[in-house]
Chains A and B, each alone.
Chain A
Amino acid sequence: MPAKVVGEEKVKKSPSFVKPWLGLKYLFKKPVTIKIPEEKIEPAPKYRGFHTLDWKKCVGCNFCGQICPARAIEMTWIEVDGKMEKRPHPKIDYGRCTFCQFCVDVCPTGALGFIESYILTTTGDEEELQLYDWVPIHPDKFKEIQDQYRDWRFPVEKIEVNEETREVTYYLRNGETFKFKIVGYGIRPPKPPTKPAPKKEEKKDSKQ
């Protein structure tokens, strides 16, 4: 069967000096503009924004790290209140993340999720750039902050990393702080939690 082709005389228009003037018809219409600082737009529900992580559900399988097309996910060993988590948790680098949310689809336990917030702006300062590299917080917490402000911004104002003690502090927007320790990276656990911490870290670093 031959392809159906519309005749040229049906699609070709003759040039006109009068018709362009119809373009002026919007002169007195209301502009279709959203004045962003004054007006707000709601992102679609399930808009692919930042990640959330339920730390109790995460089993550290590293499926997310394997599927991530940008390799933005690194497994991190975390110590909260002096107790190390049994499994590593993903740390996401938003400098690389493409927000494809494959990691959320592949997560077998549903620990990794995402939320509609999508705005994260910083200056170029080294301190502020820490914001782009985080272990996501619990979905309920994130939801609470998002509902409180509804400006779709990153829920953490500042991330403070102490290089010596490897202690990380999240200063959330609603004034709360959230502290934990990063004791190691990778899938294999850092050497059994013994007292001399700095030595052990150096060893592990050299192994990777």
Chain B
Amino acid sequence: MILKVALSIGLLLYAISTFLYLYRILKGPTTSDKVIALDSTGMNLVAIVALLSILYDTDAYLDVILLIALLAFIGTVSFAKFVEKGKVIDRERDN
């Protein structure tokens, strides 16, 4: 019972945090602000899925946690590259 209450509080806090990130995505003065907010949203999602798997008492979502972490990284990297160079994949390697 205590666990459930604790989990609910945790989820609520993460939800609030997600909304705040969302505000940053919508407002954030520069693209970099928005990308960082997106990356942090991804991390929040990792936490939310973890809390949900405890709540549902299942280990079926552990893959999801790993994947979100991975993809959030990839996404952030490609955004970063896009912001930096204007393109995601270079055609030729420039030394």
Do these two chains really belong together in a complex?
A: no
Q: Which residues of B contact A (CB under 8 A)?
A: none
